Amino acid sequence: MIAGEPIVQPGCIELLRRARELLGGGRVGLLAHAASVLPDFTHLADRLREHPDARLTAPFGPEHGLDGAAQDMIGVGGAVARGLPIFSLYGADESALRPTGEMLATIDALVVDLQDVGARYYTFVYTMAHCLEACAVAGKRVIVCDRPNPLNGVDVDGPLLEPAFASFVGRFPLPVRHGKTIGELAQQWNREQGWNADLTVLPCAGWDRAMWFDRTGLPWIPPSPNMPTLDTATVYPGACLVEGTNLSEGRGTTRPFETIGAPWLDGRALAAELNASNLPGVRFRPLAFVPAFHKHAGRNCGGVFVHVTDRSVFRAVDAYVQLIAAARRQHRAAFAWRTEPYEFVRDRLAFDLLCGTDRLRRQIEAE
C-alpha cells in the first residue's frame, strides 16, 4: 500500500470532482486500460459507473484490451465489461484502430485516461490521436485525463521520426523518448494537424517535469502485460528496438526488455564486449533463460541482463543499439532483422519503423 496522499493527482481526480460541469449527465465513452486507476486503486470505469453526474455508455479498449490481458499485436475482439459492450480499437487490421461513426454515435463525450510510458512506439498515444481526430469530425467532445510521463518530462533520446516511416508505432515526428505527457501530445497534435477538436486536458496536479514515476507517490499498475515495473519502462525506449530483430526481448520471462538473448548467443562474450564500452549508467550481466512464450519459446537462450545503474545518465537507445550491433557481430549467420509484418505494415522492416528511419540499421550493417 502507499502511505499518505500521493504527491501527484492524476487528471481523472479532477474529472470526478468536476463531473457535473464537464459531463453534465450526458452519455460518456471511456478509453481506458488496466492502469486507468485512481490512487486508491479503484478503476475509473467503476467510479464513473457509480457517479451521479456521469452516464458511462461505451467503454473503449486500446491495444491489449480494456483489462490489459492480451499480448502484443493480438487483435482484441468484442467483450463486455461492467455490463456494457466494449468497443475494441485494436482488431484484426489497420481499420480497427479508429473508432467508427457508429461507435461515436453512442456518446456525447469521450474521456481518455491512459498511462503512457514516454516512448514513441508505445501505441496508446496513437489510439488517443485516432480518437481525437475522429471526434473532431463527429463533433464529439474529448476530455483527456493527463498522467505523468514516468521517465520525466525533461530528457529526450533517440532519432526523430521521418514521415516516410510513419506507422502505428510512430505516427508523427517525435524522438524515441519524447518527454511529453499524453495530454501534451493531444494538445500538440490537435493544433499541428488542424483537427480543432473540442479538447479539454485535465492536468496532473503536483507533477514536476523532473519527476520520475517513483517520486509521484502513485501506484505503478502495468499498462500492458510486458511493462511490469518502472525499471522496464526505463529501458523500453531502447529495448523495444529488439522487436525488430530475431533476438528475444525477454517476452515470456519475468523481466521482459531487461532480458535479451537468443539460442546462438554467447552471453559472457557479449557482456564483456558491451561492458568494455563503458556506456554511461548501465552494466550488462551474462545470463541464460528459457522464454515460456514468444520468440525462442522453450529453448535455452544465452544473453545479457541490462542493469541500469544510474538512470540520470543512461541513454537507452544508444545502449540497445550497441547491444544489437554486438550480437550481430558475434554471429552474423544467425542474426536477422524481422521481416514479418509489424503493426499492420508489410513493406518496411520493423526495425526501421521503430527507429523512425533506416539510417540506424544501415549504420549497424556498415559497422
Residue 236 parent element (H or E): helix 230-239
- Average confidence (pLDDT) over 196-209: 97
Distance CA 283, CA 271 (A): 8
Residue 1 has pLDDT above 50, yes or no: no
Structural domains in the chain, sorted by start: 11-215 (3.40.50.12170), 230-366 (3.90.1150.140)
Whether residue 41 is predicted with pLDDT greater than 60 in this model: the reply is: yes
Which segments within 64-128 are labelled E, that is strand? 79-81, 84-88, 109-113
Cα 31 to Cα 282: distance, rounded to the nearest angstrom: 36
Helix (H) or strand (E) holding 123: none
* pLDDT 10s digits, 143-184: 999 999 999 999 999 999 999 999 999 999 999 999 999 999
What number is the average pLDDT over the span 222-249? 97
Residues 10, 37: contact at Cβ < 8 Å? Answer: no
Identify the pLDDT of residue 70: 54
Q: What is the per-residue pLDDT across 298-332, written as a single tens digit (0 to 9) for each?
A: 999 999 999 999 999 999 999 999 999 999 999 99
Q: Is the pLDDT of residue 73 over 60?
A: no
Measured between alpha carbons, how far is 22 from 324 in angstroms, rounded to an integer? Answer: 48
